[in-house]
Amino acid sequence: MPELPEVETIRRELAPQVVGRRVEAVDLMWPPVVARPDPDLFRRILVGRQVQALRRRGKYLIWDLDAGWHLILHLRMTGQVYVHPASVPPDRHTRAVVRLDDGKAVHYRDVRKFGRFYLVQDEALVVGGLGPEPLDPAWTPEVLFQALQGRRAPIKAVLLDQRVVAGLGNIYADEALFLARLSPWRPAGSLTWAEVQRLHGAIRQVLAEALDARGTSMRSYVPPSGRRGTYQQRRRVYRRTGEPCPCCGTPIVRERLSGRSTHYCPACQPLPG
DNA sequence: ACCACAACCTGGCCGC
DNA sequence: TGCGGCCAGGTTGTGG
């Protein structure tokens, strides 16, 4: 579920609670939540480690630990992170609990069990394949334009490819394409330089708005504080099928593209030809 | 390189 | 209350 703005919001809320703390114990209610190494080794390495920093890369949350270790978490569709007093028992959807040296515990909840933990020293093993961060100054319209060259897949499918740019998901891809007035079906390589500049600006704008709103809480996304995000009130097309386009009033349509629900205004985002 | 599709899982919602 | 069908913010792997 969480895309860049949601993971970044989680990072910002969680950092003050965990940075500087030491791990005292790890409880795995559902051991397969650990992707690597095996759960026993995972627990043995993690216990005793001190959290030095909390970072985000794409949709991954990275805990920098001492001794060169990184605990990397991907929340996939329904992962949630909460901090509770040690006395709070895990609920039925809590898959792992990391107990800290201040009497608090980080609970990882995940209804659909898709999310995974990775404990590695070489973080590139997990996040090495990711493309650039869209909010990094180094990610310019030129970089995006270059990445689209020669690609005939629909632009939306390419935006969802985390090797092209890291952190976009279904909500913000639809929203950015609407802002840029581009059909999601346009072959990526067919975008003109002017269109790519527009798209680049739209991606930045949508992500900035969503960060400001602390993410989109339509379904299961709730940050650690419990303060739901509010971007769902500002979204223009995502899950607004049949509602009037905020720009021209044409009903928003929903179509399946690369297996994903895709929402757009057929009038503002026409497919040439 | 691309696409369609399935898989991984569970729960919410809708209509009957 | 129940049942079937469809939906879900992500990623990976298979086969064509």
pLDDT, tens digit (0-9, with 9 covering 90-100), for A184-236: 999 999 999 999 999 999 999 999 999 999 999 988 899 999 999 999 999 99
In angstroms, the CA A181 to CA A266 distance is 10
pLDDT, tens digit (0-9, with 9 covering 90-100), for A30-57: 999 999 999 999 999 999 999 999 999 9
Name the nt closest to A111 by C-alpha to C1': B10
pTM of the predicted model as reported, rounded to 2 decimal places: 0.97
In angstroms, the CA A229 to CA A221 distance is 8
Catalytic residue among A36, A104, A113, A260: A260
pLDDT, tens digit (0-9, with 9 covering 90-100), for A114-130: 999 999 999 999 999 99
pLDDT, tens digit (0-9, with 9 covering 90-100), for A231-270: 999 999 999 999 999 999 999 999 999 999 999 999 999 9
Catalytic residue among A43, A57, A59, A95: A59
In angstroms, the CA A30 to CA A17 distance is 24
| A59 catalytic residue (yes or no) | yes
CB A30 within 8 A of CB A96: yes
| A260 catalytic residue (yes or no) | yes
pLDDT, tens digit (0-9, with 9 covering 90-100), for A10-33: 999 999 999 999 999 999 999 999
- A92 has pLDDT over 90: yes
User: Distance, angstroms, CA A261 to C1' C4?
Assistant: 22
User: Distance, angstroms, CA A77 to C1' B7?
Assistant: 15
Mean pLDDT of A64-75: 98
Residue % of chain A over a pLDDT of 90: 96
- A1 has pLDDT over 80: no
Window A28-57, strand C contacts by Cβ < 7 Å:
none
Q: What SS3 class is residue A30?
A: coil
A273 pLDDT band, cuts 50/70/90, is confident
Strand C nucleotides where any atom sits below 7 Å of a protein CB: 7-12
User: Distance, angstroms, CA A226 to C1' C4?
Assistant: 34
Q: How far apart are the first and last CA of chain A?
A: 34
